């Protein structure tokens, strides 16, 4: 079962007048996404590290509507910074309609390098891998939580139930990932897990949550092998290609809980396809068991959480 996704210009036109917060927006895919939203008349909040201020200040004058764009310095792992980001957006533009959780990093040295030892031959702790997990999972969770909290307070437009939209930037590494880039691959599987686990709560408040899983895109993360990829003649994205899929996911009110693999001309929906293949994958008995378990949890009002252990 293959579900192709087409970019609908009419859907992108719906950005006009909406306010979008985009994390990691001073460069790469984030900057392209900011430019696309601005091109279609949206207010844009460019959220990035304080050190990216110069890049953001260079980006804003190039936008279609620079007067409708602001830069807010933020570390997505810093809760006070994140609270300030959403407050600034509401103070400037009145409300937030779209949140794009784009900020993410990759390790610069192999997490599983067994030669990373100290003078006594003891394996060194992989602190960089921990930072990748923190930024890509914890930072994304911070973005989701504050996105839901802020947008659930929106007055519904034209009587619509949709209060807002969140798009997570995952990766094809969140579904596949056999390249041994352990920190990044694990973190992007975590982002896909956040998509699935946060959908019910987001829907409860009239908020759609979807994701995009870009394949190769020429950014800082892929710079070390970009020439080899191009020489091999493999399909690839531009940051604008990915931005158009992000915008489509953000603005298409017909979808929620979906994730689109984006690779140039190839755009495939992954989550509904996976769900449709569960029986073939796991068997009728497991499919039935999972469905019945879902009904039980719904009857119980959600998954019953354990009590804290006494310390």
Please identify every residue annotated as catalytic.
Answer: 184
Q: Edge-to-edge strand order for the sheet containing 266-269? A: 69-73, 43-48, 19-23, 98-101, 164-169, 207-214, 259-263, 266-269
Q: Among residues 260, 219, 258, 221, which one has the least CA distance to residue 237?
A: 219
| Residues composing the chain | 311
**CB-based contact 45:106 (threshold 8 Å):** no
How many helices (H) and strands (E) the chain has is answered by 12, 8
DSSP 137: I
How many whole angstroms separate alpha carbon 59 and alpha carbon 36?
A: 12
> Given CA atoms 8, 9, 12, 17 in this order, what sign does their dihedral have?
negative
- Give the chain's radius of gyration (CA, Å): 20
The token pair at 31 is 């900057």
| 207 phi, psi to nearest 5 deg | -115, 130
Which residues are registered as beta bridge partners of 212?
A: 169, 260
Q: What 3-state DSSP class applies to 168?
A: strand
Are 188 and 236 within 8 A, CB to CB?
no
Q: Which residues contact 253 (CB under 8 A, 6 or more apart)?
A: 160, 162, 208
Quote the distance between the C-alpha of residue 65 and its chain's center. 24
């Amino acid at each position: 079962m293959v579900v192709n996704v087409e970019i609908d210009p009419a859907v992108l036109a719906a950005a006009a007048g909406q306010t979008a917060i985009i994390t990691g927006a001073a460069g790469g895919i984030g900057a392209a996404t900011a430019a696309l939203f601005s091109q279609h008349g949206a207010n844009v909040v460019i959220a990035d590290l304080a050190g990216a201020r110069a890049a953001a200040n260079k980006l804003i004058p190039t936008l279609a509507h620079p007067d409708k764009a602001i830069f807010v310095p933020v570390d997505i792992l810093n809760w006070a910074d994140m609270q300030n980001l959403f407050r600034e957006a509401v103070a400037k533009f009145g409300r937030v309609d779209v949140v794009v959780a784009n900020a993410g990093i990759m390790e610069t040295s192999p997490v599983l390098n067994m030669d990373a030892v100290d003078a006594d031959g003891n394996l060194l702790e992989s602190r960089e891998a921990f930072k990748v997990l923190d930024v890509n999972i914890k930072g994304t969770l911070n973005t989701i939580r504050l996105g839901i909290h802020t947008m659930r307070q929106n007055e519904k437009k034209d009587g619509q139930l949709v209060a807002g939209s969140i798009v997570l930037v995952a990766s094809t590494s969140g579904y596949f990932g056999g390249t041994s880039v352990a920190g990044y691959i694990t973190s992007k599987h975590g982002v896909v897990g956040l998509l699935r686990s946060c959908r019910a709560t987001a829907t409860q408040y009239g908020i759609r949550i979807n994701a995009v899983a870009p394949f190769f895109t020429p950014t800082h993360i892929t710079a070390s092998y970009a020439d080899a990829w191009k020489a091999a003649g493999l399909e690839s994205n531009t940051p604008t290609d990915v931005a158009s899929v992000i915008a489509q996911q953000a603005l298409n009110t017909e979808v929620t809980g979906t994730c689109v693999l984006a690779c140039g001309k190839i755009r495939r929906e992954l989550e509904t396809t996976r769900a449709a293949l569960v029986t073939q994958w796991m068997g009728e008995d497991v499919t039935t068991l999972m469905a019945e378990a879902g009904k039980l949890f719904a009857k119980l009002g959600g998954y019953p959480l354990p009590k804290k252990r006494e310390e």
